[in-house]
Amino acid sequence: MTGHWPAAAAGSRLSKSELTQIADAMRGHVERGEVPGMVTLLSHGNEVHVEALGVKDLQSPEPMRRDTIFRIASMTKPVTAAAAMLLVEEGKLGLDDPVDKFLPELAGRKVLRSLESPLDDTVPAARAITLRDLLTFRMGIGAVMVFPAKYPIQHAMEEAGVAPGPNLFPGAPDEFMKRLGGLPLVHQPGEVWMYHTGLDIAGVLLARAAGKSLGEFMAERIFVPLGMKDTGFYVPESKLDRLATAYQRDEAGKLVVWDKARGGKWASPPAFEAGGGGLVSTVDDFHAFARMMLNSGQHGSVRILSPESVEAMTTDQITPEQKAASPFYPGFWDNRGWGLGLSMTTGPDGISSEPGRYGWDGGYGTTYIADPGRDMVAILLMQRMMGGPDDFAINQEFLKLAYEAIKS
């Protein structure tokens, strides 16, 4: 275990007793064998506290460390949205402009008459897809929350390799767009929120608009300026010893390897840099991104985004009618909204009593939130595949305790 209090002065507003409670609670999950290990971070203003618990691989005694690298999965989404806003600020993209110019595969869309329809039972799209549609998941196609898959469009997405899930698309971006472009939309653009796919497409859009790969653009405009030296779409050979092994639970609840470090899915550059879930990062790297967002686009002396872009990202864009028509997991929309690439609370939710907290999670067990009203960031990184919302119990407990550690 490691701890870090750079500002442990008498006036500290991080409660040491509550920080100890967080560490004890999280250590309990490790000791009970629920997860191999984790790294947590809680910051309030300039105060930062980090804990590293357990091990990064069950077959090795090497402990988790502050600089352990994690697959952050869907925590990639806010980063991709931020990258998109950079191009919006430059005038290379418009939030409400059709994306056809850079994504001709999405021109002239057809829309299924109903979710149950065969793929050829369609009507023309009422309008073109926009960047805002991609970032708000209202482009008309994405995760269909029916399990197991039963509808023709679900099977077609799986067969094409573009269905949302833990496995990244194995081909190049052009092939991804070709396959997606061969499918009809499920809903008219702008009408219904459907998770995930829009951010993968946004990543392709950004690369084409910027004239370089998504990873190159993110590194140039976000990672290098913020000092995020361990964030990218793969882990170089020299850093593989720091990549945690990813696990999933089998039917008996036992942890089994899902992705190893050496020879695994992130051990070499991918053909497809997935804007919806492909990044790896460390707790300090992501904290730099989170603090930049919390500080209205600036981190230290470095400005990444305009305050207006951050406000757009963190403002709920989904109408009550759209939420009612957009199933996700039970209760998701009760006190949540969705902005550009991330979620925010719209009311008390059992973790905090005030609205305004924003952030997102990742399917390998990662979570980050930022709360402007509390000037706080909380990050939990672990590598256990999530099978459903119940698997986020550890993350929810961490966030509740994090709020208790911030003195009012």
Q: Which long-range contacts (CB under 8 A, 24 or more apart) does 262-267 make?
A: 265/168, 266/71, 266/233, 266/234, 266/235, 267/234, 267/235, 267/237, 267/240, 267/243
**106 residue type, one letter:** L
Containing H/E element for 362?
strand 358-362
**Mean pLDDT, the chain, integer:** 95
Angstrom CA distances, 273 to 80, 103, 111, 169, stand at 11, 16, 27, 9
Q: Which CATH architecture has domain 81-210?
A: Up-down Bundle (1.20)
Whole-prediction pTM value? 0.96
- For 256, the 3-state DSSP assignment is strand
Q: Cα torsion for 383, 226, 200, 123, to the nearest 10°?
A: 140
What phi and psi, each to the nearest 5 degrees, are found at residue 65?
A: -130, 165
* Sequence-ordered strand ranges (E) for 109-214: 110-112, 122-124
Q: Is the peptide bond before 148 cis (omega within 30 degrees of 0)?
A: yes
**385 residue type, one letter:** M
b/e map 201-234, b = 16+ CB within 10 Å = bbbbbbbbbbeebbbebbbebbbebbebebbbbb
Distance, in Å, from the CA atom of 203 to the CA atom of 84, rounded to the nearest integer, reads 8
35-65 pLDDT per residue, tens: 999 999 999 999 999 999 999 999 998 999 9
Q: Which of 389, 337, 328 is nearest to 146 (CA)?
A: 328
* Sequence-ordered strand ranges (E) for 10-144: 37-44, 47-54, 70-71, 110-112, 122-124
Over range 224-237, report the average pLDDT.
99
User: 244 and 60 in contact (C-beta within 8 Å)?
Assistant: no
Split at pLDDT 50, 70, 90, the class of 13 is confident
164-215 pLDDT per residue, tens: 998 889 999 999 999 999 999 999 999 999 999 999 999 999 999 999 999 9
Angstrom CA distances, 178 to 96, 161, 174, stand at 23, 11, 6
Name the class of domain 16-73+213-405.
alpha beta
If one counts every other C-beta atom within 10 angstroms of the C-beta of residue 74, the result is 24
Split at pLDDT 50, 70, 90, the class of 117 is very high
Q: Which of 329, 206, 185, 335 is nearest to 276 (CA)?
A: 206
If one counts every other C-beta atom within 10 angstroms of the C-beta of residue 264, the result is 18
- Which residue reads 């059709």 in tokens? 98
How many CA atoms are closer than 13 Å to the CA of 331, on its beta-carbon side?
6
pLDDT of residue 15: 86
Angstrom CA distances, 134 to 199, 207, 220, 308, stand at 6, 15, 23, 19
Over range 380-394, report the average pLDDT.
90
- Which residue reads 């850093």 in tokens? 239
264-297 pLDDT per residue, tens: 999 999 999 999 999 999 999 999 999 999 999 9
With a pLDDT cut of 70, the percent of the chain lying above it is: 97
| Chain-centre distance for alpha carbon 209 | 22
Distance, in Å, from the CA atom of 379 to the CA atom of 51, rounded to the nearest integer, reads 11
| Chain-centre distance for alpha carbon 58 | 26
Q: Which of 286, 382, 392 is nearest to 53 (CA)?
A: 382
- Residue 275, token pair as written in the block: 């804007």
- Residue 296, token pair as written in the block: 């209205």
Q: Where are the domains positioned within the chain?
A: 16-73+213-405, 81-210
Chain length of the chain:
408
Over range 257-261, report the average pLDDT.
97
Split at pLDDT 50, 70, 90, the class of 388 is confident
Split at pLDDT 50, 70, 90, the class of 408 is low
pLDDT of residue 361: 97
- For residue 15, with 0-12 CB atoms within 10 Å meaning exposed, 13-18 middle and 19 or more buried, which class applies? middle
Over range 332-360, report the average pLDDT.
96
How many CA atoms are closer than 13 Å to the CA of 320, on its beta-carbon side?
2
pLDDT of residue 11: 54
- Which residue reads 């418009």 in tokens? 94
- For residue 348, with 0-12 CB atoms within 10 Å meaning exposed, 13-18 middle and 19 or more buried, which class applies? exposed
132-166 pLDDT per residue, tens: 999 999 999 999 999 899 999 999 999 999 999 98
Split at pLDDT 50, 70, 90, the class of 220 is very high
124-135 pLDDT per residue, tens: 999 999 999 999
pLDDT of residue 390: 76
Over range 352-367, report the average pLDDT.
96
